[in-house]
Amino acid sequence: MAEMASSGDMEDDAREDPAAPDPAAEERRATYFAEQALSEQTREHLRRTGFVVVASRSVPERRYVLPKDGGFTWLYQGGALVALLCGQAVGDLSPTEALIALKLWIEADEEEFLQKVNTFSLDSASSPILRVLAALAPPPEVLA
């Protein structure tokens, strides 16, 4: 067998019930994975703003803005908010790891990512509730 390391194996297992969730170990695991999957610049941006910005590989000026605590992915084109995307990574993942999973998806297969999420385009025909949600978009400096 390949060496399999769960969050419990990777860290100190000296707990009363090894099967019980260990938030501290899960947080360390998420931090470790973030260090592997996100650049220092991206991690600093995440700490400062609460968002990760992913540049599209297929469409210039397209940016995906991922919130650290889940919720909508905000899609910008040329600096303008054009759509809200609703989709979450499925599984036993912390919010940070779920965010990273979405980032990896967008980078690796943007087309498939867009097929999997629900897209709510913002235009003149948008529903009032979408326009209200759009008002909650991240501030422009997040894209900087």
Task: Give the residue, chosen from 16, 23, 58, 118, that forms a contact with another protein under the rule CB under 8 A.
Answer: 118
Q: Which of residues 47-106 bind another protein (CB under 8 A)?
A: 86-93, 97, 101-105
Query: Using the rule CB under 8 A, is 134 a contact of another protein?
Result: no
Choose among 3, 48, 10, 16: nearest CA to 31: 10
| Residues in binding contact with another protein, number by CB under 8 A | 40
Q: Which residues, at least 6 apart from 74, have a Cβ–Cβ distance to it below 8 Å?
A: 64, 65, 67, 81, 84, 85, 137, 138
- Considering only the stretches 10-18, 45-53, 122-130, 136-144, report the one whose residues sit in contact with another protein under the rule CB under 8 A: 10-18
Cβ contact 61:78 at 8 Å: yes
CA distance 66 to 85: 10
Task: Please give the residue ranges that form the binding site for another protein (CB under 8 A).
Answer: 1-7, 9-12, 32-33, 36-39, 42, 86-93, 97, 101-105, 107-109, 112-113, 116-118
